[in-house]
Amino acid sequence: MRRRAVRRRGEDLFWYTFLPTAIAVGLLWLVASQIKWSFVETLDFAALWKFRLALWQGTLNTLILTGVSVALGTVGGTLLAVGLQLRFRPLSWLIVSYVEIFRNTPLLLQLFWIHFALPQLTGISTTPFQSGFIAVTLQSTAYLADIARAGIQAIPKGQWEAADALGLSARVKWLEIVLPQALKIMIPPLANIAVGYFKASAVLALLSVGELMTVTTRIAQYSFKPIEAFTLAGAIYLVLGAIFSSLTYKLERVFSTSEKRQ
Amino acid sequence: MTWDWAVFFGTFPLLGSALVTTLELVIASLVLASLIGVILCFGRLIGKGALGWLATAYVSMFRGLPETVLIFWIYYCGPFVFDARLSSFASGVLSLSLVAGAYMGEIFRAGVLAVPRGQYEAADALGLSKVHLVRDVAAPQAFRIMLPAIFSQVTILTKNSSIVSAIGVAELFYRGSTLAGDTFRYFEIFSAVGLVYFALIFPLSLLSQRLERTLAVTR
């Protein structure tokens, strides 16, 4: 009996540890063996130093675009979620179709639609930066409407009933009872969305919106150093993204502890 | 310029082959991402040792990189750094699945961990062999738990497949923008392309939401 158990553990070790490790290491070796080290040695990251101001400007543009769009999206999304709670059929239907259309089509398509198609409708043409800004705002509004809806629904029924029993006006009920609590529930997913758009905003470079990836593409073409430029851009996204994600975890912890204390 | 229904409806037949390319991109990326995900899942479940360390490093790296950067890097820089020349389609599939693989690994891990421990213990107590334990007890339950997340990952993949147009793969968005650029009928053509994407993605996300709801009820 004991021997059988030992043998089974050995088999487990083979199937669940050694084999996957061997495959992973093999793949890694396969990739590494294809690296042309003689070329890698000639890479010159110092040449990017003279583009530091442009890169800084691009990073700043990305941060501003993401921050302002998601902030506006939070306001818009909350308004849409409140609109859904009014239980007025045509309005709900309109809001749901808005949310589903923006959630179920690519950001890239929305961007081009706003930049090229919308001016035919409105007669007002927008700069690429404005189009990028509008696209991210509209899409994040749709995602945040869903999060706000979940946040509002998570508020206990007792709170609504208490507000009604106290005879509070609709304005006080929403602004001082429902929304502050809903916002607290919304914060962790909201932070996730913000980090997501920080990453996703790189797509806007396909319209040369002027954020980090656009600047990187220009530098790559101008300096003939695409590898250095794209690698650096990847590193900037990775490092800033990691910082924002760790802040998100902290935020999540803060809000989950304050929740428990109640 | 006014809306022209003839242009709008005339766009759909022209998108046929592009739709096939998009589907090929999504399916190929999904398969490759699942393979990457399985290996990562083992590593993340073990948590320590070479594989655990590699998997953690992989996940944190590829979850943090925008697909756009990766697509540009693999297509423009890959041939210089590596001794391999990939077509634009292969570069697109590789970059989409490298990122999706990191998410798939996490989905698989969450699914395996969500199967209650008692199920494994019960299977052991019943004397089921390893094959039966995995095939008849653990896998069906874990798969059911993973399914909504997998569907939502497919919708994300479909949306991200539009980025591959940047390196000239003739998928839906690429075909749409070249058609629109030729005719200056941006409004009708981009709306038609949007409708095709919506028709692809919306049923999947509905299915994902519905499955999630049934899962929440049954558990």
Average pLDDT over chain B, rounded to whole? Answer: 89
Q: Which two tokens stand for residue B121?
A: 């213990």
Interface contact flag, B69 A233, Cβ < 8 Å: yes
Kindly give the confidence (pLDDT) of every residue in chain A, 262 residues in length, as a single tens digit, with 9 standing for 90 and above.
Answer: 444 544 555 666 677 777 878 888 888 888 888 888 888 888 888 888 888 899 999 999 999 999 999 999 999 999 999 999 888 889 999 999 999 999 999 999 999 999 998 888 888 888 999 999 999 999 999 999 999 999 998 888 888 889 889 988 888 888 888 888 888 888 888 988 999 999 999 999 999 888 999 999 999 988 888 889 999 999 999 999 999 988 888 887 887 665 555 4
Query: Does A106 contact B173 at a Cβ distance shorter than 8 Å?
Result: yes
**Chain A residues within 8 A of B191 when measuring between CB atoms:** 113, 117
A25 and A54 co-located in one domain: no
Domain ranges within chain B, ordered by starting residue: 11-218
Residue B24 Cα, gap to closest chain A Cα (Å): 17
A216 and B73 in contact (C-beta within 8 Å)?
A: no
Number of domains within chain A? 2
8 Å CB contact between A122 and A134:
no
Residue B165 has pLDDT above 60, yes or no: yes
Same domain, yes or no, for A12 and A142?
no
Q: Do A20 and A122 sit in the same domain of this protein? A: no
List the single residue in B with minimal CA-CA distance to A107: B159
Q: How far apart are CA A229 and CA A165, in angstroms?
A: 62
Query: How far is residue B49's CA from residue B56's CA, in Å, rounded to a whole number?
Result: 11
Range(s) of the domain holding residue A29: 1-34
Superfamily for B11-218?
Answer: MetI-like (1.10.3720.10)
Residue B50 pLDDT: 79
Q: Closest-CA residue in chain A for B154?
A: A104
Distance from CA of A166 to the nearest CA of B (A): 35
3-state SS assignment for residue B82 = strand
Is B208 within 8 Å of B107 (Cβ atoms)? no
Residues A114, A28 within the same domain: no
What does the block give as tokens for A19?
Answer: 């084999």
> Do A66 and A15 reside in the same domain of the chain?
no
Q: Evaluate whether A99 touches A145 at the Cβ level (below 8 Å).
A: yes
- Asked if the structure places residue A143 within a domain, the reply is yes
Tokens of B91: 């570069």
Q: Are residues A52 and A24 in the same domain?
A: no
Any idea what DSSP says for residue A13? I
Stronger pLDDT, A90 or B120, i.e. the higher one: A90
Task: Indicate the pLDDT class of residue B184, thresholds 50, 70 and 90.
Answer: confident
Question: What is this model's ipTM?
Answer: 0.90
pLDDT tens, residue by residue, B88-97: 999 999 999 9
pLDDT score recorded for residue A1:
42
| Amino acid symbol at A86 | L
User: In this structure, are residues A132 and A207 in contact, taking their beta carbons and an 8 Å threshold?
Assistant: yes
Cβ-based burial of A101 (10 A; exposed 0-12, middle 13-18, buried ≥19): middle
Residues of B with CB below 8 A from A244's CB? none
User: What Å distances lie between residue A75 and A4, A81, B141, CA to CA?
Assistant: 63, 10, 40
Residue A56 lies in a domain: yes
Residue with tokens 């309109």: A94
For residue A36, the number of C-alpha atoms closer than 13 Å in the C-beta half-sphere is 13
d(CA B36, CA B30): 10
CA neighbor of A151 nearest in space, from A191, A180, A183, A193: A183
DSSP characters over A55-99 = HHHHHHHHHHHHHHHHHHHHHHHHHHHHHHHT--HHHHHHHHHHH
Nearest to B69 among A105, A121, A213 (CB): A213
Task: Enumerate the β-bridge partners of residue B82.
Answer: A35
- Tell whether A115 and A159 lie within a shared domain: yes
- Alpha helical stretches, state H, A86-178: 89-103, 107-112, 118-122, 128-153, 157-165, 170-172
CATH number (domain holding residue A247): 1.10.3720.10
Cβ atoms of A252 and B99 closer than 8 Å = no
* A125 shares its domain with A230: yes
A25 & A51 share domain: no
Looking at residue A2, what is its pLDDT?
A: 47
Main-chain phi, psi angles of A125, to 5 degrees? -95, 150
Q: Are A136 and A66 in contact (CB under 8 A)?
A: yes
Query: Do both A82 and A111 map to the same domain?
Result: yes
List Cβ neighbours of A143 (8 Å cut-off, separation of 6 or more). A73, A77, A102, A103, A193
Q: In terms of domains, do A179 and A257 share one?
A: yes
Give me the residue from A16, A104, A201 closest to B42, CB to CB. Answer: A16
Determine contact, residues B189/B196, Cβ cutoff 8 Å: no
Question: Does residue A40 form part of some domain?
Answer: no
Cα A158 from chain centroid (whole Å):
34
Q: What's residue B198's pLDDT?
A: 95
Residues A17 and A72 in one domain: no
